[in-house]
Structure 1
Amino acid sequence: MEKPAAEERILDAAWNIFIQKGKAAARMQEIADAAGINKAMLHYYFRSKDRLFEVVFFRALEDLLSSAAVVLGSPMPLAPKIESVVSMYIDSILERPALPLFVISEIQANPGLLSHEAFEKEEIQQEISLFGDQLRMAAEKGDIRRVEPEHLLMDLLGMIMLPFTAKSLFLGLMDWSDEEFVVEMNSRKKSIPAMLMASLRVPNPV
Structure 2
Amino acid sequence: LGAGFFIYGPQLALVLSLGSGTHVFVFSTRLGTFVQAYESRIIPQRTQEFAINAANYRHWDEAVRLYVDDCLEGTEGPREKDFNMRWIASLVADCYRILMRGGVFLYPGDRRKGYGQGRLRLVYEANPIAYLIEQAGGAATDAITRILEIEPESLHQRVPMIFGSAREVARITRYHTEPSNIGERAPLFSRRGLFRA
* TM-score bucket (shorter structure): 0.3 to 0.5
Structure with more of its chain in helix, by fraction:
1
TM-score between the two structures when normalised by the length of structure 2: 0.33
> With structure 1 as the length reference, what TM-score do the two structures score?
0.32
Larger radius of gyration: 1
